Amino acid sequence: MYKILFLIVSIVISSELPKGLTNWELDNMHIIDEMRFRTDPPPGPVRAIAEYEPMQGVLIRYPFGISTTLIRAMAEDVTVYCLVSTWSENSAYNSMNNAGVNMDNVEFILGSTDSYWTRDYGPWWVIDGDGNYSIVDFTYNRPRYNDNQAPFKVSEHLDIPYYSADFVSTGGNYMTDGFGSAASAHIAYTENNECNTNDDDSIPLDPCPYVDNIMDDYYGINTFHVVADPNDEYIDHIDCWAKFLSPQKLLVRSVQASHSQYDEIEEIVDYFESTTTSSGEPWEIYRVYTPNDQPYTNSLILNNKVFVPIMNSSWDDDALSVYEAAMPNHEILPFTGSWMSTDALHCRIKGIPDLSLYSYAQGDVNTDGIINILDIVLSVNFVLGEEVPSSIQNGLADMNSDGELNVLDVILLVNQVIGE
């Protein structure tokens, strides 16, 4: 019954949903709880995959929420996986083909969607204790059946394991460092009744054992930073004001002292300055100035490129300079679009990790299935320039996932081999 009802609703409300919720959705929020279900967790230990790790593709939907110019740029290097209804596949193909997109790097995943926010309803990725690359799903925090089904459709298309954790969430409000830490705004707790809290002011919020246990069991997250959203907007997504750039680097928006959100944003910065990274080091915090609430933190890291939303503003160049300083080994690419302060590039694209890479364990640099002294020797040779790593070897040797191979990666690998 609900499938039929959602199909009718998705047609009626069209592909362009409003900034918030439709009146029908506001009246039917109870359906979110009815969509929830739980599978057993993946075999442990589980490691969540960070955005800045190697990616083989991106997930978008048709009708597009981004320009074909941006799609063409991404398809130069990775596969564009496009969710599309059966009756729209030809239109999607023609739109991209006519725009000069490399169609050899496009795959269609058949299935209806309700909106273009693939970041919010798309799959979360993990490596399980058996070394399998898997999707661990959640219940989307909108009563949109088609969107909520997208992760399962992706798992079928890629033929990878699918798990589901029984909690409500959204991808724009989740970022992980890939080493057991994650961060979210307060709705990670307040939208789950089991937390029994309406707290949207604390930095950080008091722990919610129900959600925290799910994050640990299903995603391998043992440090979960849940804080009040400083933007205090309707959406309350962390990607509207912050971003993990690497396991050591954090980007946070800044505003002028007269801005209504100044104190709350600075309190967030103070909080992260009082915490440490997963490796126990202080965060390197970068600030990007957003005086008119520009969505500069809502960027997409895609391998050695960073796609940054710009607004044709006088502050665009300064924002791009911040990325260049923080990520010197990446190409920083600006893109315009129908961006808003709470809805931009990152919201409409979801990365798909490199499946070939994750068939090997991190540190298995020579891909022989064993992590030992031979991997250390090979990593040293890469750092010294004696040998050139393949793309897979580069990812496996980059132990701290910062995009660089250096002595820090060798030290981490040595510690792994000797069991420290």
Structural domain spans, the chain: 47-353, 360-418
Q: Report how many helices (DSSP H) and strands (DSSP E) the chain contains, helices first.
A: 14, 17
The Cα 347–Cα 339 span in angstroms is 10
Domains 47-353 and 360-418 share a fold: no
Query: Is it the case that residue 284 has pLDDT exceeding 80?
Result: yes
- Tell me, what's the pLDDT at 17? 62
pLDDT greater than 80 at residue 19: no
- What does the pLDDT read at residue 129? 81
pLDDT at 152 over 80: yes
Angle at alpha carbon of residue 110, lines to 106 and 114, rounded to 5°: 105
Q: Are 177 and 217 in contact (CB under 8 A)?
A: no
Global pTM?
A: 0.86
Q: Could you tell me if residue 180 is left (phi over 0), alpha (psi between -120 and 50 degrees) or otherwise beta?
A: left
**E strands, 141-270, in order:** 162-169, 175-176, 181-185, 223-227, 242-244, 249-254
| Residue 224 to residue 220: CA distance in whole angstroms | 10
Walk across the sheet containing 175-176 and list its strands: 175-176, 181-185, 223-227
**Residue 105 confidence (pLDDT):** 98
> Average pLDDT, stretch 209-215?
98
Which CATH architecture is the domain 360-418 placed in?
Orthogonal Bundle (1.10)
Q: What distance in Å separates the CA atoms of residue 312 and residue 70, rounded to the nearest whole number?
A: 16
Asked whether the beta carbons of 9 and 28 are under 8 A apart, the reply is no
CATH superfamily of 47-353: L-arginine/glycine Amidinotransferase; Chain A (3.75.10.10)
Beta strands in 97-215, from DSSP E residues, in sequence order: 106-110, 124-127, 133-140, 162-169, 175-176, 181-185
| Residue 39 pLDDT > 90 | yes
Task: Name the amino acid, one letter, at 174.
Answer: Y
pLDDT of residue 402: 81
Which residues are part of the catalytic machinery? Answer: 347
Query: What is the rounded CA–CA span in Å between residue 167 and residue 216?
Result: 13
